[in-house]
Structure 1
């Protein structure tokens, strides 16, 4: 089922996700719905907060991106990043392994808003997969950037928080308009209940 992607101004985007303690049928269904939602929105990553769930859960699939390369190391050996896709990360932990590089980012919760963001070029990731099995890998390029973007969502951090001051000021009118539309939609929904 395609879920609603909440937009900037919704308070859940600022909530840190709860750790997931067990894999349940409801969680499996949420994961399936998140993938369906991400694909329908033409995204490459989606965090649980973006569909209204404050959990330590994100899904990613970069197989359709051909113009921004990714690297992957499994057990110290180079591997094809597509071998991990589609990727579920539960309770992820990340550690930077390289200096920051600047690259373009967008976000499904910020339609048509893009900016260059500085993030470590390479990271180490530890998490559980969708079946609760341990995952451990190193990655770089777009995969590292996308995981860091989604990891931030799980901590209640948004990519606008990582923008430099000049970019944030330039985008401020668009951000304020998006936030106002979202808050008005939430107020109308609350008034109907």
Structure 2
């Protein structure tokens, strides 16, 4: 189903928080591109929109599948929206590698942010919602999104990439505001 159609369908699902097993193990590859996957993708787009996210991986809605959706801007400010199944991310090396430090958050630890340095551009390869090969290269929020969401599908949350001190501060921030987010957020709005 085209992304434009997926964006019009679907219903928000509760977002799974860090600590749940599905968030900390590699996801199973997508092998079936039929109606069940299309319904999941529509729900993921609806959930990402309700949570005002840049991207969302299937484990974040409790589904053990290696797929993410994205809806954010690239390095030139253009909005880009799509799906990547079974992604692999390639990052620049050597002289081409430039790190960019930005405040990063995660919908599965809502309201908490920390500075994290990541390569300023990434290339993501995988399959689209039809099972056709895709290769996308981007910087800006989208390039970071490719890295963040692919990490999720490998069982890595961005807090795993922080120092112990930064990770503790991130959790303290979340704990201070956790009561603003109902257990079924973003189905129920932020308080």
TM-score with structure 1 setting the length: 0.78
RMSD: 2.3
- Over residues 66-100 of structure 1, what are the superposed CA-to-partner deviations in whole Å (9 max), with x where a residue is unaligned? xxx525xxxxxxxx853xx3210001111101232
- 1:89 is matched with which residue: 84, 92, 101? 84
Unaligned runs of 5+ in 2: 1-10, 184-191
Q: How many Å separate the matches in 2 of 1:173 and 1:43?
A: 21
> Which one of 47, 55, 65 corresponds to residue 45 of structure 1?
55
Change (3 A) 1:138 1:171: closer
Give yes or no for contact 2:111–2:177 (8 Å, CA) kept in 1.
Answer: no
| Regions of 4+ moved over 6 Å | 176-179
In structure 1, runs of 5+ residues without a counterpart are 64-68, 72-79, 180-184, 186-193
Question: 2:129: which partner in 1?
Answer: 130
In terms of Rg, which structure is larger?
A: 1
When residues 2 and 172 of structure 1 are mapped into structure 2, their CA distance, relative to the original with a 3 A threshold, is: closer
Looking at secondary structure, tell me which structure has more helix per residue.
1
- Report matched runs for 1:22-171 at 5 Å: 22-63=32-73, 70=75, 81-82=78-79, 85-97=80-92, 98-171=97-170
TM-score if structure 2 supplies the norm length? 0.78
